[in-house]
Amino acid sequence: MDIKLITSFKNKLVSIKNAITQQITKLRKPVDMGDDIDSFEEEADEATEMAAQAGMVETLKRRVHRVDDALTKMDQGKYGVCEKCGKEIEVALLNVDPESRYCRGCKVSSR
């Protein structure tokens, strides 16, 4: 793959990673419990909200992991190669999903 393309994908991945990391930091901020006496319903709402946030953090963490993998592959010169069939991943696909591990064909067939 063209070094210029790789550099642009690298910049993209780094900014995605920064954005996700910021989101995680925000989500991790403790929910304001306040010192007012909450009704039982409100407490239940907070618990639901916290669970939803924990789920989101997990999803985001998985994405950071995939972005990190893609960055590692760049360092190893393996970026943009499908992990399944070994072919080059289409640039159009990487434009949409720069941390993709599979080419379009393998992505479709793995569904």
Residues lying near Zn ion in the complex (CB under 5 A):
82, 84-85, 103, 106
For residues 42 and 97, which CB has a smaller minimum distance to Zn ion in the complex?
97
For residues 28 and 78, which CB has a smaller minimum distance to Zn ion in the complex?
78
Give the chain as a DSSP string: --HHHHHHHHHHHHHHHHHHHHHHHHHHSPP---SS---HHHHHHHHHHHHHHHHHHHHHHHHHHHHHHHHHHHHTT-TTB-TTT-PBPPHHHHHH-TT--S-HHHHHHT-
**Considering the complex, what minimum distance in angstroms separates the CB of residue 105 from Zn ion?**
5
**Considering the complex, what minimum distance in angstroms separates the CB of residue 69 from Zn ion?**
16
For residues 49 and 88, which CB has a smaller minimum distance to Zn ion in the complex?
88
**Considering the complex, what minimum distance in angstroms separates the CB of residue 63 from Zn ion?**
21
